[in-house]
Chain A
Amino acid sequence: MNELRLLRDALPQPQGPAAETIATGRVMLARQYTKTNKTTRGTSPWRIRRRAVLAVGAGVAVAAAVAVVLAPQGSLQVANARDLGDRAALSAEHEPYTTPRPDQWIYRRERQASGWDMNAWWKGANGPLETNDHWWRVDGHAAADIVNGKLRVLDFDHPGAHVVYSGGPMYTVRNYATLPTDPDSLLRSLRKPYPNQVGPTTDADVFDTIVGMLSDPLPPKLHAALFRSLPALHGVTLQRDAADVTGRKGIGFALTDDWERKVLIIDPHTYHYLGMYDYAVKDHHRAGDPGTVKKGTYLIQRALLDSRIVDHPGQHA
């Protein structure tokens, strides 16, 4: 017996990487792709699959195709919503994060379909796409947006400001640190009713709350807990192919609640939140309304283009 073989046999046999380790490494790598080339973000698994199929069809050497076909990107192996939640959580846990100061601002840029009218909500939002910039001060005492090309800052502490603080979301950057980071306790917190709430908090409400929170910079553990709690909501399933309103392809958590279906889309490589849409899966008439929402009508189509902590309102980066 030669000594090289003895070496192989004498050392403990490797156990190999855990599936979770492989997934983490793939996420770390995928994060490099977007750094290198922003335009490729979120488009790859489909493109690779399509190319692989074409390569086989074109009679390219089978062995060459095997390497591509059998080695797809991570998202293709996602088994179900829970699996997606775990993968996204794992990735979120490694995201960099700095707790913002109370006097800093959260900047958010979104692109969404226009045309939504509260008084004719059943008509949906199907207008041209529009881009909105918003700023919220971390302490919740001010907000800003762009009106007619000019920055408008709303100071809620200003004498004469008629703003009711309790009107905003219950949880924002100002109190994210107080939320529990295990999924079950977190869901209990997110289900707590608002002081003036009518009726119980449904899982569809919690889904909306989570969508809102994912649009903010988040503490990594809370970020992970949100992804882990999504599959625990009633009616949530995996949606393999989803695209946001700007056409970025991703993988989604979908929640179907009677006539309405909400889809939260995340990037299949970075697991970053990309956007959401909400549409009618069947005709529905709400008592007292003059109109009926038709199956296939989009009520919301929204993409998150940027979300970051800045020092001043009006600041983009």
Chain B
Amino acid sequence: MHEVRLPFGPQHPSIKEPIFLSVDVEGEVVRDASMRLGYAHRGAEKMVEGKSIMAGLFVTERICGLCSSAHSNCYVQAFEKLLPEKPGLRVALTRVVIGELERIHSHLLWLGFLMHEIGFESLFMLYWSVRESVLNLLEKISGNRIHHSNNWVGSVRSLINKSLSLEITNTLDAIKPKLESYAKQAVNDRVIRSRLVSKGVLSEKDAEKLCLVGPLARASGINNDVRSIAPYEAYSQLKFKVPLSHKCDAMARLRIRLEEINTSISMVKQALALMPESEVPALVKPEISEGCVTARVEAPRGELFHYYEVKNGLITRARFRTPTYANIICVPQILQGYDLSDVPVIIASLDPCFSCMDRVLVVKDGHKRIMNSKELMRE
């Protein structure tokens, strides 16, 4: 049969961020796929270098709109390792509340996006209307809907008082039945099942070999949730179960994210119940002159890793490994053998975020250089 090469991107309705995916189809079956990245490269690592520790924070929290709090949390955690005192329980719990609300809104955005990919516009709108309530809560806590800018090295900018805590609990209680009803429809609808079950299968062995992270790995039976295996902030004080599945397909990824929303709602409630009324450290410039630190947190899409080197109070080297950077490697493999109709669904099931992932392009003196791995590591 005649083979057609379809260019998915850099601009395509099914991909909301720029990536070039070349898909070779024979009839309706995908025979091969390859991708080219780098369209959204902004040089975030380079931007942070040479900045003071507080100036770097403003850059890192703008790496991604959906993981803004996760990035800034990872940043402050890294530098708090060099501080003599820990910020305290109230700060840790506030960060947990914002981080989990961010996870809920990110997953709701993804759910809507997945429904849009399979042409179910109504459920897409309903999920996004619930997301609005969560964004309103984030705005009430921090003053911002997307870039919350609440983290500070050693403290937080905004606190959650009793009345706000009650409002958050009430809102979460109000959205939970809605989410359960939508989830029931998403999981049980025959057409949705036909579009997701046994699509984009990644076995546990493959997921382990490719070092996948986040809900993608958990849908393949690998528990690498940083909140559980290496608790940070106040996660060690919260009771939660990491959702796992061994089905390994797109439906398993949907179920995992639906369960994670419920887990996050429970975590927010627990964190609010534990929230003390104590004072938090003042917003002062951190006294850090030298050091080499790393930190990792569980962003909505999986493990987020930051590495920093500081000299004379300035950041000399920064390195971010975002979850999509770890997960994107599976794309060509995961598409082969499936139908063309499955391509947008399978890509969406990975929940990719390209703007915070694009890396590696090294330009010096206006000339592009190709480097081997040793040179790249040295750079």
A and B: real partners? Answer: no
Q: Which residues of A contact B (CB under 8 A)?
A: none
